[in-house]
Amino acid sequence: MTAAIKFEHVKKSFADKLVINGLNLEIKQGELFVLVGNSGSGKTTTIKMINRLEDPTTGQVLVNEQPTTSYDLQKLRWNIGYVLQQIALFPNMTVAQNISLIPEIKGECRPKDKKQEKKTEQLLTEVGLDPKSYSSRYPSELSGGEQQRIGILRAIASQPPIVLMDEPFSALDPLSRTNLQDLVIDLHENLHNTIVFVTHDMSEALKIADRIGIMKDGELLQVGEPNEILRHPANQFVQDFFRGSLGKDIYETPVRQAIFFNRLAEDHGQESEQLPTISVDEKLAKVLSLLCNAEKVAVQDHDGKFIGFLDRQWVIKYLNGINDFS
């Protein structure tokens, strides 16, 4: 798989402060890559160098194998969607006008274009908002979660090959946040675009990421698939960062997140038919209650596909914090 985005020996300084130190990273075409780290780790500066809101002090960033500095700046940014924590909708524009803004700027449609209106209606429907109720509303008439849905639609309306998301859900309530995480997963599966998502929440990263990059003090500590990093953290910081993200009440850990610690059971489909089943969105407490009367619990995705199982031995290891779940 080719790299959509590549950082080569990138350093970034502001005045005398080095904030990115020798970053080398490849983000694959069509993957949902999550950069995670504490405040000040350099993750936001990193994605800002993709659409040239910041430029490297040394080194280079490549998009589709070309240095970002070789692109016309306006065209580069038009082909990269951008979603921020601060939902920057235009208050004097309706929902439909906000969504259609980038296609109109790019000359892909004209105002009140019937084809674009249908596309906007389709996008609203895909994110669970009735076009008849929402198209003519203004941002002030929407909840925070609804505004952020519109912000996401505006970013993808012209189908950019790359979308950047900088802590887009951190200011939202837990329910809205969960719903929008599911939305990002669904949109990515449908559009097959490359998404670079920044968060300080490891549980969010575990839920949505194809791969995760963990940053600390401007350095990339580890890159890998979620289960790979969970099983083999590169150092104590990575291990502690994961553990701290599981929450104070471990019994509230979603099965979707917890199952990364367990082996997948792709060859046990027939066995799973006789087991109690649970959704990936249920809490670990539910697993414990089912294991009172069963040796194992089968885990299913949203489509009812069997993806793995949790057994009593695994739960004991998990609750005791043992790192090697192989």
- The average confidence (pLDDT) of the chain is 82
List helix spans (H) across 33-94: 43-48, 73-78
Is 270's pLDDT higher than 60?
no
With pLDDT > 70 as the criterion, what percentage of the chain qualifies? 84
Cα dihedral angle (214, 219, 221, 224), rounded to 10 degrees?
50
Selection from 97, 92, 55, 100 nearest residue 76 by Cα = 55
The span from the CA of 96 to the CA of 35, in Å, is: 31
For residue range 125-176, what is the model confidence (pLDDT) as tens digits?
A: 888 889 899 999 999 999 888 888 888 888 888 888 999 999 888 877 777 7
For residue range 9-63, what is the model confidence (pLDDT) as tens digits?
A: 999 999 889 999 999 999 999 999 999 998 889 999 999 999 999 999 999 999 9
Is 322's pLDDT higher than 50?
no
Is 254's pLDDT higher than 70?
no
CB 163, CB 193: distance < 8 Å: yes
pLDDT value at position 86? 75
Q: Domains of the chain (ranges plus CATH)?
A: 3-247 (3.40.50.300), 251-320 (3.10.580.10)
pLDDT value at position 207? 81
**Distinct helix (H) and strand (E) counts, the chain:** 14, 13
pTM to 2 decimal places: 0.76
Residues in CB range of 183: below 8 A, 6 or more apart: 127, 149, 152
The full length of the chain comes to 326
Q: Which amino acid is at 302?
A: H
Residues in CB range of 6: below 8 A, 6 or more apart: 25, 26, 27, 61, 62, 65
Q: How confident is the model at residue 324 (pLDDT cuts 50, 70, 90)?
A: very low
Q: How confident is the model at residue 110 (pLDDT cuts 50, 70, 90)?
A: low
Tokens linked to 312: 């009593």
Which of 77-81, 289-293, 321-325 is predicted most confidently? 77-81
